[in-house]
Structure 1
Amino acid sequence: MIAIGLEGSANKLGVGIVYHPQHDKNSLKPPPPAQILSNIRDTYNAPPGEGFLPKDTALHHRRHVTDLVRRSLVEAKLSIDDVDCICYTKGPGMGAPLTSVAIAARTMSLLWDKPMVGVNHCVGHIEMGREITGATNPVVLYVSGGNTQVIAYSMQRYRIFGETLDIAVGNCLDRFARTLNIPNDPAPGYNIEQLAKKGKVLLDLPYAVKGMDCSFSGILAKVDEYASQMNAGKLLDPATGEKITPEDLCFTLQETVFGMLVEITERAMAHVGSNQVLIVGGVGCNERVQEMMGIMAKERGGSVYATDERFCIDNGIMIAHAGLLAYGTGQTTDLQDSTCTQRFRTDDVFVAWRDD
């Protein structure tokens, strides 16, 4: 089976085509890996110091979706007749961009008489991560601009063990990048990561772990306060008396929020008895969070699984792959139900393609 996937829940528009080889479900052999035929992405970047607005992001997606679909088919050396289904991101995400992509998928379905499959964005990340890394039954840390969740599979659902109580960790990093007027190209979080590598001073920030959940808004407020003091020349290293730099603030923010994520992930591993951690989502590309998680997992005799930016950052391939898994179990989305929603919980999805 072959599927084309459209992702546009935030500022990245992705179109991907995936091929699932035939597999006998009664066979004891594992299914052959999915084959990625194309994976194209175009990103809307707001000016430095600004975030991307829903209306501008939606306009970007509408302008580029036709070209990306055409390019993906050319790269895959396919015609639309070869495609079995059209998969799109149903949610969660930003309303206007999601709507633009849903309309594009609906139009393609009507024009080419192909069935649709609406896909949960979070489940798309998880299934793509499992496919690429080979992780069997890991605890999943899902970290992105709009989501922060610790997840584990049980009884055909991805159960949420902990999550953010306010803003997501990626949103926290992105908003601090605006405070420092850090460019959004290629991504604000990536630019913070590069600055943090040069930081040396670790300042005190609130450490807001509440059971299995996290809170990042108070941390953001405090580090913003530090930035104001730094700009006024009043923020000094308590040990040396030297002036604190933007690199120090980025280092401080990363170490604090990633430490919180490692703590709740380890607690979930202990609860479910797993020694595998799979990191997915855009923030999952960060080398420091992978390193910190690796230290924790090694102490527990476990392993960390992560992917590179091709699959961590929002992409169409993950939507095509997860959609094709659902389509293989007979799931489709009727035209009247081909809507989108900003609030689509990970644990709302019935994972029919996995067997306990």
Structure 2
Amino acid sequence: MPRVGQVLGIEGTAWNLSAAVFDEDLVSLSSSAYSPPKGGIHPREAAQHHAAVLKDVITSALADADEIAGVAFSQGPGLGPCLRTVGTAARSLALSLGVPLIGVNHCVAHIEIGRFATGFADPIVLYASGANTQVLGYLNGRYRIFGETLDIGIGNALDKFARHHALPHPGGPVVEELARKGSYIPLPYTVKGMDLAFSGLVSAAKDSAAPLPDVCYSLQETAFAMCVEVTERALAHTGKDEAILVGGVGVNSRLQEMLSVMCGERGASFSVPERKYMGDNGAMIAYTGRIMLESGQTISIPQSRVNPAYRSDQVEVTWRREAGSVFDRRQSDEMLRGAEAEVELSGDGARKRRLKKGYRHPILDSELIRERTRAEARIIASARRAGVPTPVIMDVTRDTILMEEIRGDILKYVLDPASAEEVGATIGKLHGAGIAHGDLTTSNMIKRGDQIVLIDFGLSQITSEIEARGVDIHVIFQTLESTRPDADLLKEAFVKGYCNAFPGAGDVLVREHEIELRGRYL
């Protein structure tokens, strides 16, 4: 791609207004943050702040710049009034300078500045910010979302807790400081496949009568362990061996430590960008705008309308020429390792042992291992009695299940429409038996002849609730969308099998769509 010169980037999706100029490296960076007098961010007040300081921030960023080749701005997602303020300024500057306009997705900008700053080529990305918590990876021209929060972002969760205790905004740094003096208390832990939810955790933390440092410590330990677990699930599912952390919450040293420990245990590489690139900043918009401009990805004035709900997986990534990869690394026939456990295959069956996680607090880790092992063995047996293909359970200890070895192919390597329809029928039978699997990825299914055998029931539950069934369908749909170019065809085949096998399928599919919408920018 041809070199384009310097690009001005303007970021203003929420509380921070920032501008920067990027060439081969960062030329300048200028910022001004809005701080609410009380409570959370007030969108109109934040936009008024941005309008008041815009001229000074941009003038400062341009002080050391040469000729500007393009103007990039955060087109979304974000708070509407703030986005419109920045969008108006960017259009005016592009017109007055006679240069191209580049609309940048805020989330993708976090990823790209993270790749630039760490040097990692094709990582799994944990994006942890105020309004967003997502696990992403690149495949075939788009950033695919493997998992995300189904309610509020991790930063907003910390802010809500902080406001409840009259702590200053933003809440994350204050919670981190108080947590250094605290001890662990149990709080709710909610992981749904590669998705997660924070509302129940925050409510329990706000209601806790424990000393504030203890609650802060446990809130961090629990929320961050959830984030790291879903990141590890994405690494295990895709076979990628690099991970990075981006977004404002990523400056938290404990979250960085936990991810580093997890990657070390898996033999994966982990890195974090410099602090100046972590929070919302103009540098990430300028850099991403520059590589977009190099690939010819600009917009006209009529196309430059802001989009407060702009999803990262809606962006066509024209500046990356490679296809990306998933499922490249097959494991040995004797030892398989997933996100949670090792499975040893031997003559007497498959021995699944849940692994201790060094990143999780020992009490939390021990309880999760015990609960998930017992639940998995019990529910596998119940599913099998209902006619759902599962392994036969032979023995159970506190952290290990000895079960029948299923000979076949992990479905993610051999999935086709016929298999997808059979998956739908199998899940329909499972739901008809009052069981939700909880982790329906194509890594947790084995194709044995024409049969689909379900494995890894560690997040499963006995329930007839439509919400749990909807989450099951959402997880498998999200898995297909993030890993397969023919996802629509496979989803159609799945739905056919599911509807044929389960009378309540229509209501569950409606709920799945509602769950999908919860993952939009909040």
Q: CA deviation at 1:47?
A: 2.4
Tell me which residue corresponds to 2:144: 159
Q: CA deviation at 1:188?
A: 2.0
Alignment-mate amino acid for residue 92 of structure 2: T
Pairing 1:100-179 to 2, within 5 Å after superposition: 100-179=85-164
Q: Whole-Å Cα distance in 1 between the matches of residues 280 and 190 of structure 2? A: 27
Q: Whole-Å Cα distance in 2 between the matches of residues 98 and 246 of structure 1? A: 36
Tell me which residue corresponds to 1:257: 223
CA deviations over 1:135-193 (Å, ceiling 9, x no partner): 11110000100111000111111100000101011100011111111122xx3211111
Pairing 1:28-43 to 2, within 5 Å after superposition: 34-43=24-33
Alignment-mate amino acid for residue 84 of structure 1: A
SS in 2 for 1:253: helix
Tell me which residue corresponds to 1:17: 21
Q: Is the 8 A contact 1:276 1:303 kept in 2?
A: yes
SS in 2 for 1:51: coil
Q: Is the 8 A contact 1:285 1:307 kept in 2?
A: no
SS in 2 for 1:38: strand
Q: Whole-Å Cα distance in 2 between the matches of residues 206 and 319 of structure 1? A: 36
Identify which of 168, 177, 180 aligns with 1:197: 180
Alignment length (residue pairs): 318
Q: CA deviation at 1:77?
A: 4.3
Q: Whole-Å Cα distance in 2 between the matches of residues 299 and 109 of structure 1? A: 48
Tell me which residue corresponds to 1:52: 41
Q: Is the 8 A contact 1:290 1:304 kept in 2?
A: no
Q: Is the 8 A contact 1:47 1:183 kept in 2?
A: no
The answer to whether residue 238 in structure 2 is matched with residue 248 in structure 1 is: no
Alignment-mate amino acid for residue 96 of structure 1: P
Tell me which residue corresponds to 1:2: 6
Q: Is the 8 A contact 2:6 2:65 kept in 1?
A: no
Q: TM-score, normalised by structure 1?
A: 0.88
Q: Whole-Å Cα distance in 2 between the matches of residues 13 and 121 of structure 1? A: 13
SS in 2 for 1:259: helix
Tell me which residue corresponds to 2:84: 99
Q: Whole-Å Cα distance in 1 between the matches of residues 68 and 238 of structure 2? A: 39
CA deviations over 1:259-287 (Å, ceiling 9, x no partner): 10111100100111112111000011110
Alignment-mate amino acid for residue 258 of structure 1: F
Identify which of 306, 309, 334 aligns with 2:272: 306
Identify which of 259, 271, 292 aligns with 1:293: 259
Alignment-mate amino acid for residue 274 of structure 1: K
Q: Whole-Å Cα distance in 1 between the matches of residues 304 and 316 of structure 2? A: 17
Tell me which residue corresponds to 1:232: none
Q: Whole-Å Cα distance in 2 between the matches of residues 264 and 70 of structure 1? A: 42
Tell me which residue corresponds to 1:65: 54
SS in 2 for 1:101: helix
SS in 2 for 1:324: helix
Q: CA deviation at 1:245?
A: 1.9
Q: Whole-Å Cα distance in 2 between the matches of residues 66 and 309 of structure 1? A: 25
| Superposition CA RMSD, Å | 1.0
Alignment-mate amino acid for residue 121 of structure 2: T
Tell me which residue corresponds to 1:180: 165
Q: TM-score, normalised by structure 2?
A: 0.60
Tell me which residue corresponds to 1:221: 203
Q: Whole-Å Cα distance in 2 between the matches of residues 278 and 161 of structure 1? A: 15
Q: Whole-Å Cα distance in 2 between the matches of residues 126 and 189 of structure 1? A: 21
SS in 2 for 1:84: strand
SS in 2 for 1:103: helix
Q: Whole-Å Cα distance in 2 between the matches of residues 140 and 208 of structure 1? A: 20
Tell me which residue corresponds to 1:240: none
CA deviations over 1:115-139 (Å, ceiling 9, x no partner): 1000000110000000011111110
Alignment-mate amino acid for residue 315 of structure 2: V
SS in 2 for 1:162: strand
RCO greater where, 1 or 2, for CA within 8 Å and sep 6 or more?
1
Alignment-mate amino acid for residue 259 of structure 2: M
Q: Which runs of 4+ in 1 moved over 6 A?
A: none
Q: Is the 8 A contact 1:278 1:304 kept in 2?
A: yes
Q: Is the 8 A contact 2:129 2:249 kept in 1?
A: yes
